[in-house]
Amino acid sequence: MQKIDLICIGKLNASYFAAGVAEYQKRLGAFCEFRIIELPEEAISEKNASQAVIDKALEKEGRAILANLRKGAALVALCVEGKLISSEELAAAIADRAMSGAGDMTFVIGSSHGLAPMVKQAAAMKISLGRITLPHQLARLVLTEQLYRAFAINNHIKYHK
């Protein structure tokens, strides 16, 4: 069974986001081994932190992300410069990876400052959820729903219209 990981920087602290993510996580269990790995966001105490301080925090988060990658998994980074893809294109990417024999994938959502360059460079694919800015908790819900939709497409389930 294909293994799909979602690595997120930060925790879900709103119950309505947590409930939505939990529902899609449960649904995904029928199609893949799905797990969510939450890593702590590096604290930046300065309100108007310099880019150097932000870069240092991103580097530490990036090392933690890369240390938690499942061996052999394709890394998919969600980032602003990523490619806009449709639900069908996401489904095709997941199916292609599964058919390759090395089906494991890891999606990663960074902190409010984004992702470290080292994570983006390690990514096999960079995608964007759109040109609008989403709070990270909402991005997690949207991504888990889209992963479920992708598996529904690949398994010809009526969920996707």
Question: Angle, nearest 10°, between helix axes 136-154 and 15-28?
Answer: 20
pLDDT at position 46:
78
3-class state of residue 64 by DSSP? helix
Residues 94-133 have pLDDT tens digits of 999 988 877 899 999 999 899 999 999 999 999 999 988 8
What counts of helices (H) and strands (E) characterise the chain? Answer: 5, 5
C-alpha–C-alpha distance, residues 22 and 73, integer Å: 23
Is residue 159 predicted with pLDDT exceeding 80? no
63 and 136 in contact (C-beta within 8 Å)?
Answer: no
pLDDT at position 161:
63
Nearest one of 15, 14, 16, 18 to 26, comparing CA atoms: 18
Is residue 158 predicted with pLDDT exceeding 90? no
- For the entire predicted model, the pTM comes to 0.94
Q: What burial class does residue 42 get, using C-beta atoms within 10 Å of its C-beta: 0-12 exposed, 13-18 middle, 19+ buried?
A: middle
C-alpha–C-alpha distance, residues 33 and 43, integer Å: 31
Lowest mean pLDDT among 49-53, 82-86, 118-122, 127-131: 49-53
